[in-house]
Amino acid sequence: MTDQTVSGERGAFTKTAQHSYTLPSRYYLDQDIYDQEHQKIFLRSWLYVGHVSDLPAIGSFITDDVAGQPIVIIRGSDNNVRAFFNVCQHRGDLLLSGKGQVKSKIVCKYHAWCYGLEGELKTARLTGNVPGFDRTDFGLRPVQHALVAGMIFVNFDPNATPEDGDLPQFEKTILDNLPEMPGYVSKHQFDFDIHANWKVVIDNFSEGYHIPVAHPTLATLYNEETVKSQVRDRFRFYQKTAKQGFAGFETKGDEPYLTWFLWPNLCLLSLPGASQLIVLRITPDGPGKSLEHADVYSPAETDAPNLEVVKSLFSEMFNREDIALVQSVQLGLGSLGYDQGRYVADAEDSWFTESGLHLFHQQILDALGS
């Protein structure tokens, strides 16, 4: 990490938040920077895909497009979860779509090459007389994956380790607070198209300075002054004490409001008095657009008390208010009248500090080699 990495019209981004100017607006607008982020961040980081509850039985699978790469996650005949590129090794046809279950094999719809649940090529029609053809050379290409408190992550960097992404410590903070998370199941999903750069959305999740102004209802949920934090290289964890009497929730006044951020694009929310965990994935879709996918998880054996309250709170308050804000910011970033601001941060690391936002921006610059 260097002291001065980039400069804009007003001044330099520096390693100390209280002395630093923010990222210049070009980091939210330029196609070249967006392309660099794709190569240097999203193809080299641990990215959330789903939860093991999506794979309840042998042959269960889910597919996804992750950082532009088609992948399939499948539970093998040995009950282990594996990840593969969702591509036939004959001519590149996509193999599976959506989610579901196959009995004992994956059959390509184009030429009927057949793969086992562990990715091995079982049969390839009419290849008996092809010189030098060896089925063992044409199994599905594996994708590195990790299971974290029941959540499934993939990484396209073959040399990456879970420790590189702070996944073991991230998992520990989840299990310390939500020990039943590996057994949770998805109760609801949301998808939102957002006309803003993916970093603008993460920026919004990275600071609480805006909450009393932009989210007056949310501000009644917890005491900002009670925040406790754990900040590591790749994740941040915040714990705040709930206020009593928040509408729709039964709280005793000492239940925590928990939030996590995992580099580069994952946010988790656990609301006090609710049994749900909201998992948010922000996916870039161009310099000025992103996709937000949210999974709401609850213990499998419960009827998800407060689920309707959580759904309403999230969709109507968090996203109705936040999406309008970040889209407005994206428009402002394109103005000739703006290039940089200042982080609102102090040496005391007060509750309102934007030091977490500054840390996220430093990580962006480090990843890009700026």
CATH number at residue 203: 3.90.380.10
pLDDT(3) > 60: no
Within-domain flag for 31: no
- Same domain for 205 and 130: no
- Same domain for 148 and 211: no
- Same domain for 211 and 111: no
Buried b / exposed e along 345-370 (16+ C-beta atoms within 10 A): beeeeebbbbbbbbbbbbbbbebbee
Within-domain flag for 26: no
- Same domain for 190 and 151: no
What is the tens place of the pLDDT at every residue in 171-230? 999 999 999 999 999 988 999 999 999 999 999 999 988 888 888 777 666 666 667 778
- Same domain for 345 and 201: yes
What's the mean pLDDT when you consider all of the chain? 91
For residue 65, give its domain range: 47-155
- Same domain for 250 and 145: no
- Same domain for 126 and 195: no
- Same domain for 286 and 151: no
Question: Would you place residue 122 in the very low, low, confident or very high pLDDT band (cuts 50, 70, 90)?
Answer: very high
- Same domain for 351 and 224: yes
d(CA 144, CA 281): 19
- Same domain for 151 and 178: no
What is the tens place of the pLDDT at every residue in 230-249? 888 899 998 877 776 555 66
